Amino acid sequence: MTRIVLWLLGGALLGGIIHILVILTLPLLAEETTWSRVSAFEAKNQMLILPQVEAGEPNPLRLDPELVYGLCQVDLADGPAYLHGLLPDAFWSLALFNEAGAVIYSTTNRDGIGQTVELGIFNAAQTRLLAQQQLDIAEGLLVVEAPSDRLFVLVRLSPPHEAMRKRFAERLAAISCGPRP
């Protein structure tokens, strides 16, 4: 009897180990990741408006139908990335994703920045140059240090009414994104 219980316990223990292995290796095994889905859009160094969610249509990125989304992919190996522009007076938020699909930085327009988008993204080496004052940046630039080079920025803009969507999308698309020319 004890032997049977020991065998069963051994099975459960092995199950626990399998569980931990599955959880830890799953992100490494995934073939379709947020990064691969985002790379399918051609949004390198430009603010691309994501297609609107339609009823009955697949929505793999799980977008909120009420919002307008602007996507921009940057590579800090080409130099620091800058976002510059003015958004309409409505709620907007900004998230910086790394290649693994985690949000490494996020903010909203209620954090005292209002309508102005002035953001500089720097990697560790570029931040050091910034500290040594060897990089010129505009005053009031929001400085974000990123641990890796390949990133994408997602700006969510919320038009208060459906009628404003087109105008809001145009304003969002006008935001400049990418290394300084």
Which residues contact another protein by CB under 8 A? 3-4, 7-8, 10-19, 21-24, 26-27, 30, 32-34, 36-38, 53-67, 69, 91, 93, 95-97, 100-108, 110-111, 154, 156, 158, 160, 162
Closer to another protein by CB, 118 or 135: give it.
118
d(CA 151, CA 176): 16
The least distance separating another protein from the CB of residue 145, rounded to whole angstroms, comes to 12
SS3 2: helix
The least distance separating another protein from the CB of residue 14, rounded to whole angstroms, comes to 4
- Name every residue whose Cβ is closer than 8 Å to that of residue 130 and which is 6 or more positions away in sequence: 122, 137, 143
d(CA 172, CA 180): 19
The secondary structure element, H or E, covering residue 1 is none
Closer to another protein by CB, 31 or 139: give it.
31
The least distance separating another protein from the CB of residue 149, rounded to whole angstroms, comes to 16
164's tokens: 């404003």
SS3 84: strand
Closer to another protein by CB, 27 or 180: give it.
27
